Structures are given as structure tokens and as C-alpha cells.
Amino acid sequence: LRLAVLGSGAGSNLRAIIAAISEKKLKAEIAVTLTDQADSGFRKIASEAGLPALHVDGGANPHRLSEAAQKEIFEHLERARVDVVVLAGFMRILKEPVISAYAGRIVNVHPSLLPKHKGANAPQMALDEGAQETGCTVHLVTAEIDAGLILAQAKVPVHAGDTAETLHARIKVEEHKLLPQVLNEWCERGLPVRGAGAS
């Protein structure tokens, strides 16, 4: 499968995908990476791995994408002949035309056991609630935030004295295993295939 990976942050999930591919645990290739943050760790990891590391100007609102950016991302995905879109810490909301064109083929990794703790700051929400455990979720992306079909989850204990940072770091360790696993299951089952079922 040809993957596009989109991210805005440190890029540790991108690094995990790259590692899984080179260790042959994930039989996919990264066709393109896209970021809205030109100076991010994500982009650095992509370029150092020799991957196309494209920057898209998302517009003024840090959580939204301008209409022009939504279209630009779609065009990049088409040009790179992408089968699956992976949101790995992409902090802006993806909408049309990508959401419909790639329906059922966009996955996101979220640092909570969805449907709990949707949105940004999920590890802090788990702490505020006094949760004994939290975790991570890999799910399909739909127009509604953090609400698409759940594909896999892993649990993580909350320790006494955890801060949002220490808890998030523990969650990420599980994300780095879970996301490549889910992608590889898709590869092995031959699903989802670009254009499958389309007329």
C-alpha cells in the first residue's frame, strides 16, 4: 500500500512507521509526507529518511485548514497515488474533498481510549478525571472529530505522580506498536484498495 503520513508535531509515530517498514513488519511504502509545520520534528524525520516532505500552509487558524489547503492536500495525495492516509499527530481538521475521496481509508491515532477524552489534551483529561488507566486508539477518520470506527486500542496504566507529559510519553510507546500493526493488517488483507467498490 502507498501511504501518505500527515503530522504537525514531534513525528514519533512517523518514525515508528518508518522503522516498521525497514524491519519488514509493515509491507507498505510511504509515498509522501505532509505537514502544516515547516519546522517540525515530523518534517525533519521525513527528510532525514529521504521521504518527500511537503509543507502545506494551513492558514491562520491553527486547528483548521483553509479551503485552499484542503484542496492542496487532496492534490498532493492524488499526485502521489496514495491508498491510505495516516494522520499521525496532524493537528488541523481534515475536511472535503479528502474526507469523501478517501472515505474508509483515513486513519488517525488518538491518545485515549475513545470514546473517552476526545479532542486535544486527552492525557490531561484522563488525569483530571482521576482515571486508573487510559490508552490509545487507532480509528477511521470521518467528518466528526475522533468519532469514526475504532480499529484497535491499547491500554496504558496511569501512575501516581503522572503529569500529562509522562502519561502521554507512556501512551506513545503503545501508539508506536499499534499504528504500524493496524496498517500492516490492512496490507495483508489487501484492504482497503484505492478505488475498490467505486464505479
d(CA 95, CA 195): 19
Peptide bond into 62 cis (omega under 30): no
Peptide bond into 180 cis (omega under 30): no
Task: Name residues contacting ligand GRF, limited to 80-109 (CB under 6 A).
Answer: 88-89, 109
Please identify which residue in 10, 101, 147, 173 interacts with ligand GRF, judged by CB under 6 A.
10
Altogether, the residues listed in the chain come to a count of 199
Nearest to 13 by CA among 81, 110, 106: 110
Question: Of the two residues 92 and 172, which places its CB atom closer to ligand GRF in the complex?
Answer: 172
- Is 12 one of the binding residues for ligand GRF (CB under 6 A)? yes
Question: Of the two residues 76 and 168, which places its CB atom closer to ligand GRF in the complex?
Answer: 168
Nearest residue to the partner ligand GRF, using Cβ: 89
- Is 7 one of the binding residues for ligand GRF (CB under 6 A)? yes
110 is catalytic: yes
d(CA 30, CA 8): 17
Please report, as ranges, the residues that interact with ligand GRF according to CB under 6 A: 7, 9-13, 42, 88-89, 109-111, 136, 172, 175
